[in-house]
Chains A and B, each alone.
Chain A
């Protein structure tokens, strides 16, 4: 596997002339799991959209292997860089196998036929996400957790070395959140896929991230290991919340406990 590099330099972007990203610089660590956290409207989704070419930056560049992604042919880019958006749409009645095989789109041209290699990619994606037994089921009949696994399978069938995910655990029950994050970790460990995702839950972010990125005001506020980034100071600066950081007894990673106005008997107020 070649090591692709994904770098954002001086990135500014936004909607309706309103700038949301303000000169953001970030080098995505290759082969690692990077999790982006931040308060609402800090620009984390905008960043992911710009990173995956859904949004054209007003200033700065996104460079994949040194080349601007906005100058790379769409299909070629889609063979290296995959994205699972926040709200993908499953056409009515589409089967799991059919949806997952849509991931092969960037590998097909107008007249190319379906090949054994395509079947193998779909097979691999279904197996990795443990959705093979669902292959013939219509997607709209699945549970939220199953459906999210199927969408990830589609992104896997695309066989990209970098995978971006915009809040892949939103709307999922906690058991399915863990299932999805475990799956993405498997993917990273087994295939070496570079994973970049936006997560809402700070504690899950700290547990699953190799590298944690805290964003605020359209820029990177902090970047580093979860221990370096998830601090009481960061939580205060980025979320405006007082907190206590303890060690997660299961993972050894930092864990944030919010301090509110009530039921704080433990800190003797």
Chain B
């Protein structure tokens, strides 16, 4: 190994190398999303040639495959990607802001809050459509503020917030289970959506609220990338660097909750995607740059692959949440053991 030369060019080089590595990782993740997207469209219980897939996508009617690809597979894949982006981005924003991988919205009750509101609206109030999404977003925000408020003492302590959140989450889960159990003639299929999340019965128009949430809330989060990166150094250091900590925190909470809740209202709480995306992204991009975009892409890949495994690769069909749940639970245990030992951060 050569001794690094003590010049400013060395620094410039170091920075550029890191930026390049970051872009490469992002490019690879994006490519993976596209490839998996293509596979889910063409290879299912029946195989459609990529050429026919492209023809269907461009709007050309292809006898025998237009329905399978256009009506069944495409909405599934699109919803998987969009909800995965929402879960991944919203989740990692929370994890970065609170500097703890356990502080993900699906662990601290925000997802359950949005889910409970959606189930209540659909089953009890017989609502459907965008109103459900709005209610879910409202409830998600309410739960976020509740958890935040309950854990507030001289500023928000990370561990306290997580413990309070886990309690609130358990309570809301039982609310969901209760509503589902009292619902008359409720199909198991639909119940599964609200218990673990699924993209069964996906329709393309459901993508609209997700797209909207991504553009608005995702835009806000991405515009705060630098402040979020500074927050990783601790609230005090970030503040000393000129970050308005409480304002940034409010914006991040609102945006992340908005995205998570919008996605939950459509697909249900797809288990552990928000929780897993950040740490996986962190392993991939190392510390070459912000985790926001990589985690969003990892979220999309998790949901796409999870749904594909559940639908195609296993002997019987499972909703995507069962697959991601099976993946996430061991990691949760691992994290709790490790955090317990080191008090580590993301």
Contacts and interface: CB of A to CB of B under 8 A. Distances in A.
B329 to A, nearest CB: 23
A165 B11 CA distance: 26
B236 A75 contact: no
Contact of B240 (A78, A87, A93, A94): A78
Interface stretch (B166-174, B241-249, B263-271): B241-249
Interface in A44-73: 49, 52-54
Contacts of A222: none
A79 B242 contact: yes
A89 interface: yes
B15 A83 contact: no
Contact of A92 (B14, B154, B243, B346): B346
A88 B4 contact: no
Given A85-B234, A93-B287, A119-B12, A105 B226 contact: yes
A114 interface: yes
A90 B237 CA distance: 10
A16 interface: yes
A234 to B, nearest CB: 30
Interface of A is mostly: mixed
A88 B233 CA distance: 6
A102 B233 contact: yes
A136 B346 contact: no
Contact of B346 (A91, A99, A122): A91
A114 B236 CA distance: 24
A16 B153 CA distance: 8
B6 A89 contact: no
A148 to B, nearest CB: 14
B286 A93 contact: yes
Contacts of B3: 133
A74 interface: yes
B345 interface: yes
A99 B10 CA distance: 16
A91 B4 contact: no
Given A92-B344, A93-B287, A98 B241 contact: no
B232 interface: yes
Interface string B26-58: 000000000000000000000000000000000
A122 B11 CA distance: 8
Given A74-B242, A79-B242, A135 B14 contact: yes
Contacts of A127: 6
Given A85-B234, A89-B232, A136 B4 contact: yes
Contacts of A138: 287
Given A15-B154, A105-B243, A110-B223, A133 B4 contact: yes
A85 B241 CA distance: 11
B216 to A, nearest CB: 17
A123 interface: yes
A83 B242 CA distance: 10
Interface string B212-236: 0000000000010010011011101
Contacts of A88: 233-234, 236-237
25 contacts: A16-B154, A54-B239, A74-B244, A77-B242, A87-B236, A88-B236, A89-B99, A89-B233, A89-B234, A92-B282, A92-B345, A92-B346, A93-B286, A93-B287, A95-B18, A95-B287, A99-B233, A101-B15, A102-B241, A108-B226, A122-B11, A123-B11, A135-B4, A136-B4, A136-B14
Interface of A: 15-16, 49, 52-54, 74-79, 82-95, 97-99, 101-103, 105-106, 108, 110, 114, 119-120, 122-123, 126-127, 132-133, 135-136, 138, 155, 158
Given A83-B236, A122-B11, 17 more contacts: A49-B236, A54-B240, A79-B242, A82-B240, A84-B240, A85-B240, A89-B234, A92-B287, A92-B346, A95-B287, A97-B14, A105-B241, A110-B226, A133-B3, A135-B4, A135-B10, A135-B11
Across the A-B interface, give the 8 residue pairs with the lowest CB-CB distance, nearest first: A78-B242, A106-B242, A85-B236, A83-B240, A75-B242, A105-B241, A93-B287, A89-B234
